[in-house]
Amino acid sequence: MNRLVECVPNFSEGRRPETVQAIIDAIQRAAPVHVLDYSSDADHNRSVVTFVGAPEHVEAAAFAAIEKASHLIDLNEHQGEHPRIGATDVCPFVPLRGVSLDDCVQIARRVGQRVGEELGIPVYFYEAAAARPDRVNLEDIRRGEFEGLREVIQTDPDRKPDFGPAALGSAGATVIGARPFLIAFNVYLDTDDVEVAKKIARAIRHSGGGMRYLKALGLLVEGRAQVSMNFTNFEKTPLHRVVELIRREAGRYGARVVDSELVGMIPQAALVESAQWYLQLDNLKPEQIIENRLTELLSDAAARAAAEETVRILPSGARRAPESPLRPEGFIQAVAEGTATPGGGAVAALCGALSAALAAMVARVTVGKRRYAEVEDEMRQVAERADQLTAALTDAIAEDVEAFNLVMAAYKIDKEDPKRAEQIQAAYMRAANAPLHVARLALDCLQLAETVAEKGNVNASSDAGVAAQVGLAAVEGATLNVLVNVKEFANAHLAGQVRGEVVAVRDRARVAYRRVMATLEARAELK
């Protein structure tokens, strides 16, 4: 996986394991994402799920989770220690690899719009996705909780949601956003006096004049006072410093820290930093940690193996590349087999990957040439973006195959099964989303082809032209696959939205293709 986004939705349910499992099942059915962790707390009556995947897959899975939670969790009956306003109370997207925070903002906005329009749930954007400065902080949006928001959402313009109706149903409202990695960490005290925990929380959190990147609440959990915290930047506000501050504050009230608790996941660096501080290992080097060293060695071994496979030594001493990259018979034969997959969608994705690869090639044969010194930086950027698109579209080949296999599997479900229709619809949505994603990426490929056609090495003009041709083929082929799948949507409004988007992408691609051809013809005359 080359591009990774993390999603950490918090659900207002921590006492019914079957409900939490149903939500996790919905996540895993919606897209090929990996659920890394989930935890539930009965006193908080809250569950936190952590899953990762490619951006488009995480986006689909997040919406499915919010939809499922809205059917299973009734905020009118919910009680718990933790503040909340919705069944899916908060849903943040976190960039992990090959993805920017702004990319996650766009994911949050798209999911939020769908939740508001399709599910009728009020949506507020927070952190980096906030549409208003007074909604950056989650606690400001959640003030008054579900019961307080229910009273004012219809009358107070300051509480009007960013998307969705200005009214709360049983699923409440949902806060959706984008943010850096966050650590949820709780400390327990040897007292049942919750006021002690509240005083400590006020003293240590940023809003109370404490640590800059720390949010904290004082709660009573299982008869013990708990300081519940969110670290929004563990590098600048480390765990050990906060724990020591809690110890000192607790001592003022005759209390002490007895244990702590991690909610969700934590980066290794946060634990290493705390261990280094407590053990006073000031000169600890990363390579002294055996897991780091093993990872480095395994990576080196993998790189060496790849190099040995890429360049083979012949008996004559000459070198040549292995046959596999230049002889794609396996994929071609699989397409020709007469089976439903791989089919046109996978071939469209392959065309897109080839388009991006050609754009990268033209950019790289431009870099380093004195004649093109003025565009060298731009060509480097084109090559980098093209590499990202090549990887994403290569991944999309398998995604298209898997998506349509799910359609065929859904039709094999017993016709008496009440969930059969729902499964078929979910499969068709995924089968439409896969080529829609290919069309979007392939349009980006065409735009790169346009750049290298205009500014790249003129000796590679034909390669830029082929990049545009296979890029357009990718968009056209993906569009056909989207249109054939949306015909099966039961939701006519959603079908219209998807159909409208892919046709718009196709039209933009055709215009871009014509511009590339005109540019190449003009450059050929000047050559």
pLDDT band at 296 (very low <50, low <70, confident <90, very high): low
pLDDT of residue 508: 94
Architecture of the domain spanning 329-526: Up-down Bundle (1.20)
B/e letters for 121-134, b = 16+ CB within 10 Å, e = fewer, are bbbbbbbbbbeeee
Q: Which of 105, 88, 8 is nearest to 53 (CA)?
A: 8
In this structure, are residues 464 and 456 in contact, taking their beta carbons and an 8 Å threshold?
yes
pLDDT of residue 323: 42
Q: Which of 403, 363, 409, 370 is nearest to 384 (CA)?
A: 363
CB-side neighbour CA atoms (13 Å) of 431: 28
400 is catalytic: yes
- What percent of the chain is predicted at pLDDT more than 90? 68
- The whole-angstrom separation of Cα 437 and Cα 440 is 5
In the 8-state DSSP scheme, what is residue 511? H
pLDDT of residue 298: 61
Give residue limits of the domains in the chain. Answer: 4-178, 183-284, 290-326, 329-526
Residue 320 has pLDDT above 60, yes or no: no
Residue 79 has pLDDT above 70, yes or no: yes
pLDDT band at 312 (very low <50, low <70, confident <90, very high): very low
82 is catalytic: yes
Residue 184 has pLDDT above 80, yes or no: yes
pLDDT band at 311 (very low <50, low <70, confident <90, very high): very low
Mean per-residue pLDDT, 300-314: 44
Which of 78, 82, 89, 395 is labelled catalytic? 82
Q: Which residue has the tokens 């988007």?
A: 501
DSSP string, 47-76: EEEEEEE-HHHHHHHHHHHHHHHHHH--GG
Which residues, in sequence order, are bridge partners of residue 198?
none
Mean per-residue pLDDT, 413-435: 89
Which of 41, 162, 400, 463 is labelled catalytic? 400
Lowest mean pLDDT among 227-236, 264-273, 383-392, 460-469: 264-273
- The whole-angstrom separation of Cα 96 and Cα 78 is 33
pLDDT band at 75 (very low <50, low <70, confident <90, very high): very high
DSSP string, 89-109: EEEEEEEEES--HHHHHHHHH
pLDDT of residue 526: 53
pLDDT of residue 310: 36
pLDDT band at 299 (very low <50, low <70, confident <90, very high): low
Q: Which fold has domain 4-178?
A: Formiminotransferase-cyclodeaminase; Chain B, domain 1 (3.30.990)
In the 8-state DSSP scheme, what is residue 223? T
Read off the tokens for 366: 């431009």
Lowest mean pLDDT among 29-38, 153-162, 183-192, 319-328: 319-328
Q: Which fold has domain 183-284?
A: Alpha-Beta Plaits (3.30.70)
Q: Which residue has the tokens 């056609």?
A: 453
pLDDT band at 222 (very low <50, low <70, confident <90, very high): confident
Mean per-residue pLDDT, 309-323: 38
